[in-house]
Amino acid sequence: MEFEKHAYDVVVVGAGGAGLRAAIAAHEAGARTAVVCKSLLGKAHTVMAEGGIAAAMGNAYPEDDWRVHFRDTMRGGKMLNHWRMAQLHAQEAPDRVRELEDWGALFDRTPDGLISQRDFGGHRYARLAHVGDRTGLELIRTLQQRTVALGVDVYMECTVTRLLTDADGITGAFGYWRESGRFVAWEAPSVVLATGGIGKAYKVTSNSWEYTGDGHSLALAAGAGLVNMEFVQFHPTGMVWPPSVRGILVTESVRGDGGVLKNSSGNRFMFDYIPDFFRKETAETEDEADRWYDDKKNNRRPPELLPRDEVARAINSEVKAGRGSPHGGVFLDIASRRPAEYVRRRLPSMYHQFKELADVDITAEAMEVGPTCHYVMGGVEVDPDTAAASVPGLFAAGEVAGGMHGSNRLGGNSLSDLLVFGRRAGAAAAEHASKRTGVVALREEMLAEAARAALAPFEREGGENPYAVQSELQQTMHDLVGIIRTAPEMERALERIAVLRERVAALSVEGHRQYNPGWHLALDLPHLLAVSECIARAALAREESRGGHTRDDFPATDPDWGRTNLVCTRGPDGTVTLTRQPLPQMPPELAEVFEEQP
Protein backbone atom coordinates (compact mmCIF):
# COMPACT_ATOMS: atom_id res chain seq x y z
CA MET A 1 0.00 0.00 0.00
CA GLU A 2 1.13 3.55 -0.75
CA PHE A 3 0.69 6.15 1.98
CA GLU A 4 0.91 9.93 2.18
CA LYS A 5 4.05 10.53 4.28
CA HIS A 6 5.56 13.52 6.00
CA ALA A 7 8.68 14.06 8.08
CA TYR A 8 8.89 16.37 11.10
CA ASP A 9 10.96 16.76 14.23
CA VAL A 10 7.93 17.07 16.48
CA VAL A 11 4.37 15.93 15.85
CA VAL A 12 1.80 17.25 18.33
CA VAL A 13 -1.41 15.24 18.58
CA GLY A 14 -4.27 17.53 19.62
CA ALA A 15 -4.91 21.24 19.07
CA GLY A 16 -6.40 22.35 22.36
CA GLY A 17 -4.52 24.63 24.72
CA ALA A 18 -1.77 22.13 25.56
CA GLY A 19 -1.21 21.03 21.96
CA LEU A 20 -1.01 24.53 20.53
CA ARG A 21 1.22 25.77 23.37
CA ALA A 22 3.50 22.77 22.79
CA ALA A 23 3.62 23.43 19.05
CA ILE A 24 4.54 27.09 19.63
CA ALA A 25 7.34 26.07 22.01
CA ALA A 26 8.67 23.37 19.68
CA HIS A 27 8.62 25.75 16.72
CA GLU A 28 10.37 28.47 18.70
CA ALA A 29 13.05 25.94 19.66
CA GLY A 30 13.76 25.44 15.97
CA ALA A 31 11.95 22.13 15.44
CA ARG A 32 10.01 21.34 12.27
CA THR A 33 6.62 21.00 13.92
CA ALA A 34 3.19 19.71 12.92
CA VAL A 35 -0.11 19.70 14.79
CA VAL A 36 -2.62 16.93 14.05
CA CYS A 37 -6.19 17.39 15.29
CA LYS A 38 -9.51 15.59 14.98
CA SER A 39 -11.61 18.73 14.48
CA LEU A 40 -11.16 22.01 12.66
CA LEU A 41 -8.56 24.31 14.21
CA GLY A 42 -10.06 26.34 17.05
CA LYS A 43 -12.82 23.87 17.94
CA ALA A 44 -10.97 21.84 20.58
CA HIS A 45 -12.56 21.23 23.95
CA THR A 46 -10.50 24.02 25.56
CA VAL A 47 -13.01 26.36 23.92
CA MET A 48 -15.59 25.19 26.50
CA ALA A 49 -13.56 26.32 29.51
CA GLU A 50 -15.38 29.18 31.11
CA GLY A 51 -14.04 30.39 34.44
CA GLY A 52 -10.44 31.34 33.94
CA ILE A 53 -6.72 30.62 34.24
CA ALA A 54 -5.43 30.21 37.80
CA ALA A 55 -2.19 32.15 38.31
CA ALA A 56 -0.87 33.80 41.47
CA MET A 57 -0.18 37.15 39.82
CA GLY A 58 -1.23 39.07 42.92
CA ASN A 59 -3.20 41.65 40.93
CA ALA A 60 -6.27 41.36 43.16
CA TYR A 61 -4.52 40.30 46.40
CA PRO A 62 -0.84 41.20 46.75
CA GLU A 63 -0.61 38.54 49.52
CA ASP A 64 -1.02 35.86 46.88
CA ASP A 65 2.12 34.11 45.62
CA TRP A 66 3.09 30.76 44.12
CA ARG A 67 3.43 29.09 47.52
CA VAL A 68 -0.22 29.78 48.35
CA HIS A 69 -1.28 28.52 44.94
CA PHE A 70 0.91 25.43 45.37
CA ARG A 71 -0.63 24.76 48.76
CA ASP A 72 -4.21 25.20 47.51
CA THR A 73 -3.50 22.86 44.59
CA MET A 74 -2.01 20.12 46.77
CA ARG A 75 -4.77 20.37 49.38
CA GLY A 76 -7.42 20.35 46.63
CA GLY A 77 -5.82 17.16 45.28
CA LYS A 78 -5.82 15.65 48.80
CA MET A 79 -2.01 15.67 48.75
CA LEU A 80 -1.74 13.00 46.06
CA ASN A 81 -0.43 15.42 43.42
CA HIS A 82 3.13 15.06 42.14
CA TRP A 83 4.65 17.86 44.23
CA ARG A 84 7.10 18.90 41.53
CA MET A 85 4.38 19.36 38.92
CA ALA A 86 2.29 21.39 41.37
CA GLN A 87 5.35 23.52 42.16
CA LEU A 88 6.31 24.22 38.52
CA HIS A 89 2.67 24.93 37.72
CA ALA A 90 2.25 27.48 40.51
CA GLN A 91 5.60 29.14 39.77
CA GLU A 92 5.23 29.48 36.00
CA ALA A 93 1.51 30.15 35.51
CA PRO A 94 1.79 33.98 35.86
CA ASP A 95 4.39 34.23 33.07
CA ARG A 96 2.34 31.96 30.84
CA VAL A 97 -0.67 34.27 31.29
CA ARG A 98 1.36 37.43 30.64
CA GLU A 99 2.77 36.09 27.39
CA LEU A 100 -0.77 35.46 26.11
CA GLU A 101 -1.22 39.24 26.20
CA ASP A 102 1.83 39.60 23.95
CA TRP A 103 -0.02 37.37 21.48
CA GLY A 104 -3.22 39.38 21.53
CA ALA A 105 -5.35 38.04 24.40
CA LEU A 106 -7.64 40.62 25.98
CA PHE A 107 -8.40 39.76 29.60
CA ASP A 108 -10.80 41.71 31.79
CA ARG A 109 -8.98 44.44 33.76
CA THR A 110 -8.62 45.73 37.30
CA PRO A 111 -9.30 49.46 37.92
CA ASP A 112 -5.56 50.16 37.55
CA GLY A 113 -5.37 48.41 34.19
CA LEU A 114 -3.90 45.05 35.21
CA ILE A 115 -5.38 41.61 34.49
CA SER A 116 -8.44 41.11 36.69
CA GLN A 117 -8.62 37.95 38.83
CA ARG A 118 -11.75 36.18 40.06
CA ASP A 119 -12.66 33.85 42.93
CA PHE A 120 -12.99 30.12 42.39
CA GLY A 121 -13.48 27.00 44.48
CA GLY A 122 -10.51 25.90 46.58
CA HIS A 123 -8.39 28.97 45.79
CA ARG A 124 -7.59 31.06 48.83
CA TYR A 125 -7.36 34.32 46.88
CA ALA A 126 -9.09 35.62 43.77
CA ARG A 127 -6.57 34.47 41.13
CA LEU A 128 -8.33 33.43 37.92
CA ALA A 129 -7.42 35.58 34.91
CA HIS A 130 -10.58 35.63 32.81
CA VAL A 131 -12.60 37.11 29.99
CA GLY A 132 -16.20 37.15 31.22
CA ASP A 133 -17.06 33.47 31.30
CA ARG A 134 -15.53 32.61 27.91
CA THR A 135 -11.88 32.36 28.92
CA GLY A 136 -11.32 29.09 27.03
CA LEU A 137 -12.36 30.70 23.77
CA GLU A 138 -9.92 33.55 24.36
CA LEU A 139 -7.14 31.09 25.15
CA ILE A 140 -7.71 28.89 22.13
CA ARG A 141 -8.14 31.81 19.72
CA THR A 142 -4.97 33.49 20.98
CA LEU A 143 -2.90 30.31 20.64
CA GLN A 144 -4.51 29.48 17.30
CA GLN A 145 -3.67 32.90 15.88
CA ARG A 146 -0.12 32.63 17.21
CA THR A 147 0.30 29.16 15.69
CA VAL A 148 -0.94 30.41 12.32
CA ALA A 149 1.28 33.51 12.48
CA LEU A 150 4.33 31.30 13.10
CA GLY A 151 3.44 29.13 10.10
CA VAL A 152 3.21 25.81 11.96
CA ASP A 153 1.70 23.06 9.75
CA VAL A 154 -1.75 21.96 10.97
CA TYR A 155 -3.41 18.72 9.84
CA MET A 156 -7.07 19.43 10.55
CA GLU A 157 -9.76 16.75 10.79
CA CYS A 158 -7.12 14.10 10.90
CA THR A 159 -7.15 11.29 13.50
CA VAL A 160 -4.09 9.45 14.80
CA THR A 161 -4.80 5.73 15.31
CA ARG A 162 -1.32 4.46 16.20
CA LEU A 163 2.01 5.59 17.56
CA LEU A 164 4.96 4.03 15.72
CA THR A 165 7.98 2.88 17.67
CA ASP A 166 11.23 0.99 17.29
CA ALA A 167 13.54 -0.44 19.94
CA ASP A 168 14.81 3.08 20.78
CA GLY A 169 11.45 4.79 21.14
CA ILE A 170 9.06 6.84 19.03
CA THR A 171 9.48 6.94 15.24
CA GLY A 172 6.22 8.61 14.27
CA ALA A 173 2.45 8.31 14.05
CA PHE A 174 -0.17 6.88 11.72
CA GLY A 175 -3.67 8.17 11.08
CA TYR A 176 -6.41 8.98 8.58
CA TRP A 177 -7.97 12.09 7.09
CA ARG A 178 -11.57 12.25 8.26
CA GLU A 179 -12.59 14.00 5.03
CA SER A 180 -11.34 11.35 2.60
CA GLY A 181 -10.63 8.35 4.80
CA ARG A 182 -7.15 8.17 3.27
CA PHE A 183 -4.20 7.21 5.42
CA VAL A 184 -1.27 9.41 6.37
CA ALA A 185 1.96 8.71 8.24
CA TRP A 186 4.32 11.11 9.99
CA GLU A 187 7.95 10.25 10.59
CA ALA A 188 9.05 12.02 13.75
CA PRO A 189 11.44 11.27 16.61
CA SER A 190 9.19 13.15 19.07
CA VAL A 191 5.43 12.96 19.55
CA VAL A 192 3.58 15.16 22.05
CA LEU A 193 0.22 13.80 23.17
CA ALA A 194 -2.22 16.59 23.97
CA THR A 195 -5.45 14.75 23.34
CA GLY A 196 -7.48 15.75 26.40
CA GLY A 197 -9.69 13.40 28.36
CA ILE A 198 -12.08 10.50 28.50
CA GLY A 199 -15.52 12.00 29.27
CA LYS A 200 -17.26 10.12 26.48
CA ALA A 201 -16.87 6.93 28.50
CA TYR A 202 -19.70 8.30 30.67
CA LYS A 203 -23.37 8.89 29.98
CA VAL A 204 -23.64 12.35 31.54
CA THR A 205 -20.64 14.46 30.65
CA SER A 206 -19.64 18.02 29.87
CA ASN A 207 -17.14 16.70 27.30
CA SER A 208 -17.47 16.75 23.49
CA TRP A 209 -17.36 13.73 21.14
CA GLU A 210 -13.59 14.10 20.81
CA TYR A 211 -12.99 13.04 24.42
CA THR A 212 -12.55 9.33 23.75
CA GLY A 213 -9.26 8.76 25.59
CA ASP A 214 -7.21 8.42 22.40
CA GLY A 215 -3.98 9.72 23.90
CA HIS A 216 -4.31 7.65 27.07
CA SER A 217 -4.85 4.55 24.97
CA LEU A 218 -2.12 5.33 22.40
CA ALA A 219 0.39 5.85 25.21
CA LEU A 220 -0.64 2.61 26.90
CA ALA A 221 -0.25 0.71 23.63
CA ALA A 222 3.19 2.26 23.05
CA GLY A 223 4.37 1.03 26.45
CA ALA A 224 3.87 4.04 28.72
CA GLY A 225 2.15 3.92 32.12
CA LEU A 226 -1.06 5.66 33.19
CA VAL A 227 -1.15 7.01 36.74
CA ASN A 228 -4.13 7.98 39.00
CA MET A 229 -6.75 6.66 36.57
CA GLU A 230 -9.26 5.99 39.35
CA PHE A 231 -9.69 9.72 39.88
CA VAL A 232 -12.45 11.12 37.67
CA GLN A 233 -13.85 14.55 38.39
CA PHE A 234 -17.61 14.99 38.39
CA HIS A 235 -18.20 18.71 38.13
CA PRO A 236 -20.92 19.58 40.63
CA THR A 237 -22.89 21.83 38.32
CA GLY A 238 -23.98 20.50 34.94
CA MET A 239 -27.31 21.32 33.36
CA VAL A 240 -30.01 18.72 34.09
CA TRP A 241 -32.89 19.92 31.95
CA PRO A 242 -33.94 19.53 29.17
CA PRO A 243 -32.62 15.98 28.66
CA SER A 244 -30.77 16.84 25.47
CA VAL A 245 -28.44 19.24 27.28
CA ARG A 246 -28.00 17.15 30.43
CA GLY A 247 -24.36 17.36 31.46
CA ILE A 248 -23.44 20.64 29.76
CA LEU A 249 -21.30 22.68 32.10
CA VAL A 250 -22.51 25.50 34.34
CA THR A 251 -19.39 27.41 35.31
CA GLU A 252 -18.12 27.53 38.87
CA SER A 253 -17.93 31.31 38.38
CA VAL A 254 -21.66 31.41 39.14
CA ARG A 255 -20.73 30.45 42.71
CA GLY A 256 -17.54 32.55 42.68
CA ASP A 257 -19.68 35.56 41.76
CA GLY A 258 -22.26 35.00 44.52
CA GLY A 259 -24.51 32.13 43.44
CA VAL A 260 -25.57 29.61 46.12
CA LEU A 261 -26.84 26.04 46.11
CA LYS A 262 -30.27 25.29 47.60
CA ASN A 263 -32.35 22.16 48.01
CA SER A 264 -36.10 21.79 47.50
CA SER A 265 -36.76 23.30 50.95
CA GLY A 266 -34.73 26.37 50.06
CA ASN A 267 -31.86 25.50 52.44
CA ARG A 268 -28.23 26.30 51.65
CA PHE A 269 -27.32 22.68 52.29
CA MET A 270 -23.57 23.01 51.73
CA PHE A 271 -23.23 24.16 55.36
CA ASP A 272 -24.13 20.56 56.32
CA TYR A 273 -21.30 19.07 54.23
CA ILE A 274 -18.14 20.86 55.39
CA PRO A 275 -15.44 18.23 55.90
CA ASP A 276 -12.99 18.54 58.83
CA PHE A 277 -10.13 18.87 56.35
CA PHE A 278 -11.50 22.26 55.22
CA ARG A 279 -13.42 23.34 58.35
CA LYS A 280 -10.89 25.94 59.53
CA GLU A 281 -11.05 27.85 56.24
CA THR A 282 -14.81 27.62 55.59
CA ALA A 283 -17.56 29.95 56.84
CA GLU A 284 -19.89 28.57 59.52
CA THR A 285 -22.87 30.85 58.95
CA GLU A 286 -24.62 32.34 55.95
CA ASP A 287 -23.84 35.83 57.25
CA GLU A 288 -20.11 35.15 57.38
CA ALA A 289 -20.20 33.53 53.94
CA ASP A 290 -22.03 36.51 52.46
CA ARG A 291 -19.60 39.00 54.00
CA TRP A 292 -16.64 37.13 52.48
CA TYR A 293 -17.30 38.39 48.94
CA ASP A 294 -16.40 41.92 50.05
CA ASP A 295 -14.10 41.26 53.00
CA LYS A 296 -11.87 38.23 52.61
CA LYS A 297 -9.54 39.15 55.46
CA ASN A 298 -12.07 38.85 58.28
CA ASN A 299 -14.37 36.16 56.88
CA ARG A 300 -14.02 32.64 55.58
CA ARG A 301 -15.10 31.17 52.24
CA PRO A 302 -18.67 30.08 51.57
CA PRO A 303 -18.97 26.27 51.55
CA GLU A 304 -20.37 26.46 48.00
CA LEU A 305 -16.74 27.14 47.03
CA LEU A 306 -15.29 23.95 48.52
CA PRO A 307 -13.33 21.84 46.01
CA ARG A 308 -15.45 20.20 43.31
CA ASP A 309 -15.39 16.65 44.70
CA GLU A 310 -16.95 17.83 47.99
CA VAL A 311 -19.71 19.82 46.28
CA ALA A 312 -20.51 17.04 43.79
CA ARG A 313 -20.90 14.45 46.58
CA ALA A 314 -23.10 16.83 48.59
CA ILE A 315 -25.45 17.40 45.63
CA ASN A 316 -25.57 13.66 45.02
CA SER A 317 -26.57 13.08 48.68
CA GLU A 318 -29.29 15.76 48.65
CA VAL A 319 -30.89 14.33 45.51
CA LYS A 320 -30.74 10.80 46.95
CA ALA A 321 -32.36 12.00 50.17
CA GLY A 322 -35.32 13.30 48.17
CA ARG A 323 -34.51 16.98 48.53
CA GLY A 324 -33.70 17.58 44.86
CA SER A 325 -35.21 19.81 42.20
CA PRO A 326 -38.03 18.63 39.88
CA HIS A 327 -35.61 17.23 37.26
CA GLY A 328 -33.22 15.46 39.62
CA GLY A 329 -30.74 18.17 40.47
CA VAL A 330 -30.55 20.98 43.02
CA PHE A 331 -31.04 24.73 42.63
CA LEU A 332 -28.24 27.14 41.81
CA ASP A 333 -29.49 30.62 42.59
CA ILE A 334 -27.81 33.85 41.60
CA ALA A 335 -31.01 35.63 40.55
CA SER A 336 -32.07 36.46 44.12
CA ARG A 337 -28.56 37.48 45.16
CA ARG A 338 -27.15 39.74 42.47
CA PRO A 339 -28.68 42.43 40.20
CA ALA A 340 -29.64 41.26 36.70
CA GLU A 341 -27.20 43.68 35.11
CA TYR A 342 -24.30 42.24 37.13
CA VAL A 343 -25.21 38.68 36.15
CA ARG A 344 -25.39 39.54 32.47
CA ARG A 345 -22.03 41.30 32.57
CA ARG A 346 -20.14 38.71 34.62
CA LEU A 347 -21.76 35.58 33.19
CA PRO A 348 -22.76 36.41 29.61
CA SER A 349 -22.26 32.88 28.25
CA MET A 350 -24.28 31.31 31.07
CA TYR A 351 -27.08 33.80 30.51
CA HIS A 352 -27.02 32.98 26.80
CA GLN A 353 -26.72 29.21 27.34
CA PHE A 354 -29.73 28.92 29.67
CA LYS A 355 -31.82 31.29 27.56
CA GLU A 356 -31.09 29.45 24.32
CA LEU A 357 -30.99 25.83 25.51
CA ALA A 358 -33.39 25.71 28.48
CA ASP A 359 -35.54 28.84 28.07
CA VAL A 360 -34.53 29.88 31.59
CA ASP A 361 -33.65 33.48 32.50
CA ILE A 362 -30.93 33.09 35.13
CA THR A 363 -31.36 36.71 36.23
CA ALA A 364 -34.96 35.92 37.22
CA GLU A 365 -35.02 32.30 38.38
CA ALA A 366 -32.76 29.60 39.81
CA MET A 367 -30.96 27.08 37.58
CA GLU A 368 -31.31 23.33 38.07
CA VAL A 369 -27.91 21.66 38.24
CA GLY A 370 -26.35 18.27 39.02
CA PRO A 371 -23.02 16.46 38.74
CA THR A 372 -21.52 15.76 35.29
CA CYS A 373 -18.36 13.88 34.27
CA HIS A 374 -15.93 16.66 33.56
CA TYR A 375 -12.25 15.75 33.82
CA VAL A 376 -9.90 12.83 34.39
CA MET A 377 -7.09 13.52 36.86
CA GLY A 378 -5.36 10.33 35.70
CA GLY A 379 -3.14 10.18 32.66
CA VAL A 380 0.23 9.41 31.20
CA GLU A 381 2.91 9.20 33.86
CA VAL A 382 5.46 11.89 32.98
CA ASP A 383 8.66 13.46 34.21
CA PRO A 384 7.52 16.80 35.73
CA ASP A 385 10.25 18.97 34.21
CA THR A 386 10.11 17.65 30.63
CA ALA A 387 6.62 16.05 30.37
CA ALA A 388 8.43 12.99 28.99
CA ALA A 389 6.74 9.60 29.28
CA SER A 390 8.74 6.42 29.90
CA VAL A 391 8.86 5.71 26.14
CA PRO A 392 11.74 7.78 24.65
CA GLY A 393 10.37 10.47 22.34
CA LEU A 394 6.88 10.39 23.82
CA PHE A 395 5.62 13.44 25.73
CA ALA A 396 2.23 14.27 27.23
CA ALA A 397 0.71 17.55 28.41
CA GLY A 398 -2.65 18.78 29.60
CA GLU A 399 -5.52 16.51 30.61
CA VAL A 400 -3.92 13.43 29.02
CA ALA A 401 -1.00 13.70 31.46
CA GLY A 402 -1.36 12.49 35.06
CA GLY A 403 0.04 13.54 38.42
CA MET A 404 -0.43 17.30 38.40
CA HIS A 405 -3.87 17.34 40.05
CA GLY A 406 -3.62 14.37 42.40
CA SER A 407 -7.03 13.02 43.31
CA ASN A 408 -8.99 16.18 42.45
CA ARG A 409 -8.35 19.21 40.23
CA LEU A 410 -9.20 22.74 41.33
CA GLY A 411 -11.16 24.86 38.89
CA GLY A 412 -8.93 27.19 36.92
CA ASN A 413 -5.91 24.90 37.27
CA SER A 414 -6.61 23.20 33.97
CA LEU A 415 -5.97 26.15 31.67
CA SER A 416 -2.80 27.05 33.57
CA ASP A 417 -1.71 23.38 33.43
CA LEU A 418 -2.14 23.39 29.62
CA LEU A 419 0.07 26.44 29.25
CA VAL A 420 2.81 25.50 31.72
CA PHE A 421 3.23 21.88 30.68
CA GLY A 422 2.34 22.42 27.02
CA ARG A 423 5.32 24.74 26.77
CA ARG A 424 7.61 22.37 28.69
CA ALA A 425 6.53 19.39 26.56
CA GLY A 426 7.09 21.25 23.29
CA ALA A 427 10.54 22.46 24.30
CA ALA A 428 11.63 19.03 25.57
CA ALA A 429 10.25 17.31 22.46
CA ALA A 430 12.26 19.65 20.26
CA GLU A 431 15.41 18.94 22.24
CA HIS A 432 14.89 15.18 22.06
CA ALA A 433 14.34 15.41 18.30
CA SER A 434 17.53 17.38 17.77
CA LYS A 435 19.44 14.36 19.06
CA ARG A 436 17.53 11.75 17.06
CA THR A 437 16.53 13.48 13.79
CA GLY A 438 17.39 11.43 10.72
CA VAL A 439 17.80 8.28 12.75
CA VAL A 440 14.16 7.27 12.74
CA ALA A 441 12.48 5.54 9.82
CA LEU A 442 9.00 4.15 9.32
CA ARG A 443 8.73 0.43 8.71
CA GLU A 444 6.37 -0.43 5.85
CA GLU A 445 4.97 -3.52 7.51
CA MET A 446 3.96 -1.46 10.56
CA LEU A 447 2.07 0.97 8.33
CA ALA A 448 0.38 -1.83 6.42
CA GLU A 449 -0.71 -3.47 9.65
CA ALA A 450 -2.08 -0.16 11.00
CA ALA A 451 -4.04 0.33 7.77
CA ARG A 452 -5.47 -3.20 7.89
CA ALA A 453 -6.64 -2.70 11.48
CA ALA A 454 -8.33 0.60 10.61
CA LEU A 455 -10.21 -0.90 7.67
CA ALA A 456 -11.38 -4.03 9.51
CA PRO A 457 -14.86 -2.65 10.42
CA PHE A 458 -15.64 -2.36 6.69
CA GLU A 459 -14.67 -5.96 6.02
CA ARG A 460 -17.18 -7.42 8.47
CA GLU A 461 -20.80 -7.87 7.40
CA GLY A 462 -23.88 -7.92 9.59
CA GLY A 463 -22.17 -6.83 12.82
CA GLU A 464 -23.61 -4.43 15.36
CA ASN A 465 -23.70 -0.66 14.92
CA PRO A 466 -21.00 1.22 16.88
CA TYR A 467 -23.43 3.76 18.36
CA ALA A 468 -25.24 1.00 20.28
CA VAL A 469 -21.98 -0.28 21.79
CA GLN A 470 -20.87 3.20 22.83
CA SER A 471 -24.21 3.85 24.47
CA GLU A 472 -23.95 0.64 26.52
CA LEU A 473 -20.41 1.44 27.63
CA GLN A 474 -21.53 4.90 28.76
CA GLN A 475 -24.41 3.43 30.72
CA THR A 476 -22.11 0.85 32.32
CA MET A 477 -19.57 3.43 33.50
CA HIS A 478 -22.34 5.77 34.69
CA ASP A 479 -24.08 3.06 36.71
CA LEU A 480 -21.14 1.04 38.00
CA VAL A 481 -18.01 3.27 38.10
CA GLY A 482 -19.62 6.66 38.74
CA ILE A 483 -19.43 9.16 41.62
CA ILE A 484 -20.04 6.57 44.37
CA ARG A 485 -18.42 3.15 43.89
CA THR A 486 -18.51 -0.37 45.40
CA ALA A 487 -16.45 -3.47 44.72
CA PRO A 488 -19.30 -5.71 43.42
CA GLU A 489 -20.43 -3.01 40.99
CA MET A 490 -16.94 -2.44 39.61
CA GLU A 491 -16.39 -6.17 39.21
CA ARG A 492 -19.58 -6.27 37.21
CA ALA A 493 -18.36 -3.31 35.14
CA LEU A 494 -15.15 -5.18 34.27
CA GLU A 495 -17.17 -8.20 33.15
CA ARG A 496 -19.33 -6.00 30.93
CA ILE A 497 -16.27 -4.23 29.48
CA ALA A 498 -14.83 -7.63 28.52
CA VAL A 499 -18.06 -8.49 26.70
CA LEU A 500 -18.14 -5.07 25.02
CA ARG A 501 -14.59 -5.63 23.80
CA GLU A 502 -15.70 -8.75 21.94
CA ARG A 503 -18.62 -6.85 20.50
CA VAL A 504 -16.33 -4.03 19.29
CA ALA A 505 -14.13 -6.61 17.58
CA ALA A 506 -17.19 -7.87 15.70
CA LEU A 507 -19.03 -4.65 14.80
CA SER A 508 -19.40 -3.41 11.25
CA VAL A 509 -19.99 -0.01 9.66
CA GLU A 510 -22.06 1.04 6.67
CA GLY A 511 -21.05 3.33 3.82
CA HIS A 512 -17.57 4.21 2.60
CA ARG A 513 -14.43 5.89 3.91
CA GLN A 514 -15.28 9.49 3.06
CA TYR A 515 -16.30 11.51 6.18
CA ASN A 516 -18.03 8.56 7.82
CA PRO A 517 -18.85 9.19 11.51
CA GLY A 518 -19.86 5.58 12.09
CA TRP A 519 -16.42 4.38 11.03
CA HIS A 520 -14.70 7.08 13.08
CA LEU A 521 -16.60 5.98 16.19
CA ALA A 522 -15.73 2.34 15.50
CA LEU A 523 -12.04 3.33 15.61
CA ASP A 524 -12.49 5.41 18.79
CA LEU A 525 -14.26 2.64 20.72
CA PRO A 526 -11.17 0.51 21.49
CA HIS A 527 -9.62 3.63 23.09
CA LEU A 528 -12.73 4.20 25.22
CA LEU A 529 -12.71 0.58 26.34
CA ALA A 530 -9.02 0.73 27.26
CA VAL A 531 -9.44 3.80 29.47
CA SER A 532 -12.67 2.46 30.99
CA GLU A 533 -10.88 -0.72 31.99
CA CYS A 534 -8.00 1.25 33.54
CA ILE A 535 -10.45 3.42 35.53
CA ALA A 536 -12.40 0.41 36.79
CA ARG A 537 -9.30 -1.65 37.69
CA ALA A 538 -7.59 1.18 39.55
CA ALA A 539 -10.83 2.17 41.29
CA LEU A 540 -11.42 -1.41 42.41
CA ALA A 541 -7.90 -1.65 43.82
CA ARG A 542 -7.92 1.64 45.76
CA GLU A 543 -9.77 0.68 48.94
CA GLU A 544 -10.28 4.17 50.35
CA SER A 545 -12.14 7.37 49.46
CA ARG A 546 -10.15 10.39 48.28
CA GLY A 547 -10.95 13.29 45.94
CA GLY A 548 -12.58 12.08 42.76
CA HIS A 549 -12.78 8.49 44.00
CA THR A 550 -15.48 7.67 46.56
CA ARG A 551 -16.01 4.10 47.79
CA ASP A 552 -19.25 3.34 49.60
CA ASP A 553 -17.54 0.25 51.01
CA PHE A 554 -14.40 2.18 52.07
CA PRO A 555 -15.67 5.66 53.00
CA ALA A 556 -12.58 6.80 54.95
CA THR A 557 -9.36 8.33 53.67
CA ASP A 558 -6.45 5.97 54.38
CA PRO A 559 -2.98 7.43 55.11
CA ASP A 560 -1.25 4.40 53.56
CA TRP A 561 -3.10 4.92 50.30
CA GLY A 562 -2.12 8.59 50.62
CA ARG A 563 1.46 7.52 49.94
CA THR A 564 0.60 5.23 47.04
CA ASN A 565 0.04 5.70 43.31
CA LEU A 566 -1.54 3.11 41.06
CA VAL A 567 -0.01 2.78 37.60
CA CYS A 568 -1.66 0.92 34.70
CA THR A 569 0.48 -0.66 32.01
CA ARG A 570 -0.39 -3.03 29.20
CA GLY A 571 1.04 -6.52 29.13
CA PRO A 572 2.17 -8.30 25.95
CA ASP A 573 -1.20 -10.08 25.75
CA GLY A 574 -3.10 -6.79 25.88
CA THR A 575 -4.32 -7.08 29.48
CA VAL A 576 -4.00 -4.16 31.91
CA THR A 577 -1.56 -4.64 34.78
CA LEU A 578 -1.75 -2.55 37.95
CA THR A 579 1.38 -1.62 39.90
CA ARG A 580 1.60 0.12 43.28
CA GLN A 581 4.22 2.85 43.36
CA PRO A 582 5.29 5.08 46.24
CA LEU A 583 4.15 8.70 45.89
CA PRO A 584 7.18 10.99 45.33
CA GLN A 585 7.85 12.93 48.56
CA MET A 586 8.38 16.68 48.54
CA PRO A 587 11.53 18.28 49.99
CA PRO A 588 11.27 19.74 53.54
CA GLU A 589 11.31 23.39 52.42
CA LEU A 590 8.10 22.80 50.45
CA ALA A 591 6.52 20.69 53.16
CA GLU A 592 6.80 23.71 55.48
CA VAL A 593 4.16 25.50 53.42
CA PHE A 594 1.55 23.13 54.87
CA GLU A 595 2.42 23.84 58.48
CA GLU A 596 1.28 27.47 58.24
CA GLN A 597 -2.27 28.36 59.25
CA PRO A 598 -4.83 28.20 56.47
Partner 1 sequence: MTEPGEPSIGGTDEGRGGGAGGGGGSGYDAAFRVWRGDASGGELQTFTVRVNEGEVVLDVIHRLQATQAGDLAVRWNCKAGKCGSCSAEVNGRPRLMCLTRMSTFAEDETVTVTPLRTFPVIRDLVTDVSYNYEKAAQVPAFTPRPRDPDGNHRMQQVDVERPQEFRKCIECWLCQDTCHVIRDHEDNKRAFAGPRFLIRLAELDMHPLDVVDRRDAAQDEFGLGYCNITKCCSEVCPEGIHLTDNGIIPLKERVVDRRFDPLTWLGSRIRRRPRD
Catalytic residue ranges: 308
DSSP-based three-state secondary structure for 214? helix
CB nearer partner 1, residue 109 or residue 279: 109
Comparison of 337 and 352: residue with beta carbon closer to partner 1: 352
Measured from the CB atom, the residue of 94 and 172 that comes closer to partner 1 is 94
Q: Other CB atoms closer than 10 Å to residue 211's CB: what's the count?
A: 25
Find, among 386, 416, 384, the residue nearest to 403 by Cα: 384
Least Cβ distance, residue 329 to partner 1 (angstroms):
8
Closest distance to partner 1 from the beta carbon of 39 (Å) = 6
Closer CB to partner 1, 136 or 398, in the complex = 136
Pairing between β-strand 169-177 and β-strand 158-166 as defined by DSSP bridges: antiparallel
Pick from 399, 446, 584, 520: nearest CA to 16? 399
CA–CA dist 408, 38 (Å, integer): 27
Return d(Cα 263, Cα 267) in angstroms, integer. Answer: 6
Q: Which residues contact 154 (CB under 8 A, 6 or more apart)?
A: 15, 34, 35, 36, 37, 41, 147, 148
- Say if CB 462 and CB 200 are below 8 A apart: no
Closest by Cα among 389, 391, 393 to 403: 389
Which DSSP helix (H) or strand (E) runs through 428?
helix 413-436
Q: Which is nearer to partner 1, 31 or 473 (CB)?
A: 473
Complex with partner 1: residue 202 or 278, whichever CB lies closer:
202
CB 100 within 8 A of CB 142: yes
SS (H, E, C) 443-503: CHHHHHHHHHHHHHHHHCCCCCCHHHHHHHHHHHHHHHCCCEECHHHHHHHHHHHHHHHHH
CB of 30 vs partner 1, minimal distance in Å: 20
Backbone angles phi, psi at 392, to 5 degrees: -55, 130
Closest approach, Cβ 429 to partner 1, in A, equals: 24
What's the min distance (Å) between Cβ of 456 and partner 1?
16
Residue 182 beta carbon to partner 1: minimum distance, rounded to whole angstroms: 13
* Separation CA 148–CA 473 (nearest Å): 38
